[in-house]
Amino acid sequence: MKRLKDKVAVITGAASGFGEGMAKRFAEEGARVVVADLNVKGAERVAGEIGKAAIWTQTDVSQKSEFDEMVDATMKAFGRIDIMVNNAGYTHRNGDMLEVDEATFDLIAAVNMKAIYHSARVVVPIMEKQGGGSIITTASTAGLRPRPGLTWYNASKGWAITATKSMAVELAPKNIRVNCLCPVAGETGMLAQFMGEDTPEFRAKFRASIPLGRLSTPLDIANAALWLASDEAEFITGVALEVDGGRCI
């Protein structure tokens, strides 16, 4: 039997990268998927490639009103929400922490931190009425082993990890599991920002810090998210799962 049969998953930042990988992998395992992203063309493309098991929504996760609209669209289309994946993320370019302007800092905080608050406010009551659910956030190895150059991004992901653990304890009596993924740098649209610039030399430097010798891929992250979302992980909550090829050792 498919591992997510009859489950409905909402995935933010699903128009590309890790989110796209999750949306397609979840659908392969029987889920109905909401592809939520600010990028309309990308969201429409991913949902179209999945087919009838998916819808797309234009969603700015920094805005509570847009979470409300996303949830309304989900409930109208599928009638429930079993899995909420807070995957949308934002970063500043690798460099001096004092050179990050306030507007960029505020956007990092809104997308990487406050969006988790917004999603909980709208999704937890639905999951509670249904008898349970699974919330997954894409955090980062940067929140576990921070390095110079990405200080404010690192801090936002550390916040996400702490929020995950606290939510897990508080929501356990409602049978809502809360976990997060900690990917190492991967083949996504934000890679150049993480590295400072995307060159063969910088890629080699990043690969050298990963014992398994390569960057992460959307499929790596999707497979980890799939397990956390499935009933196979029904006793797993509050975990910050390192999907990093050994980077955090």
Active-site residues, by number, are 153
Please state, as a whole number, how many other Cβ atoms lie within 10 Å of the Cβ of residue 23: 34
Q: How many CA atoms lie within 13 A of 44 on its CB side?
A: 4
Neighbour count for residue 186 (Cβ, 10 Å): 22
Cα 186 versus chain centre, distance? 13
3-state DSSP of 5-69: CCCEEEEECCCCHHHHHHHHHHHHCCCEEEEEECCHHHHHHHHHHHCCCEEEEECCCCCHHHHHH
